[in-house]
Amino acid sequence: MTARKTIQPDDYGRLIEPLLGQAAGYARAILRNRTDAEDAVQQAALRGLERSGTFDPTRPFKGWWFTILRNCCIDTLRHRQAARTVAIEGHEPVGETAGPGDSWQVLANALAALSDEHREILRLRYFAGLAYRELASALDIPEGTVMSRLHLARKALARNMRLEEL
């Protein structure tokens, strides 16, 4: 049995550094708050370093790391939801949202109306910049499924965008 090769800290830094810009955009697309997105990226960087022994070098690093980032974003959303349930009435946390006429709000509303699977694959593809192979790794699905799901997600998003603009 061969031992699994782990990522050394210097290698990890070299691999993660070029992904940080895309990671910030991806996290912000999910969390819709710059500060929370920055925190999630930092948390994912630390978690990835802690779990570098779980990385499979036969799979794309980018897909592996964006899976960790997605999980950190989900954790942030859960904590945010828990904070809202205990918030004093009328004193809910204020997030960064666009005005109703803003095209970003139209996009956000159209994305929100998608299924979780479609929303996630579009975020990973366009905000994180993952290639098909990386998407397959991050979502743990075959590349053929990535292609069909992405196609269907684009069609659903276009339909939702047209409905939003009416």
* CA distance readout (Å), 161 to 91, 99, 151: 32, 16, 15
Residue found by looking up tokens 């691999």 in the block? 15
Question: Cβ(39)–Cβ(76) under 8 Å?
Answer: yes
CATH 1.10.10.10 fits 99-166, yes or no: yes
**What does the alpha-carbon distance between residue 37 and residue 8 come to, in Å, rounded to a whole number?**
26
CATH 1.10.1740 fits 1-96, yes or no: yes
Secondary structure tally for the chain: helices H, strands E: 8, 0
* CA distance readout (Å), 2 to 5, 14, 45: 9, 25, 27
- The CATH 1.10.1740 domain(s) of the chain lie at 1-96
- Chain segment 52-82, per-residue pLDDT in tens: 988 998 999 999 999 999 999 999 998 887 7
- Chain segment 98-137, per-residue pLDDT in tens: 444 467 778 888 889 999 999 999 999 988 999 999 999 9
**What does the alpha-carbon distance between residue 83 and residue 49 come to, in Å, rounded to a whole number?**
28
The alpha-carbon radius of gyration of the chain (Å, integer) is 17
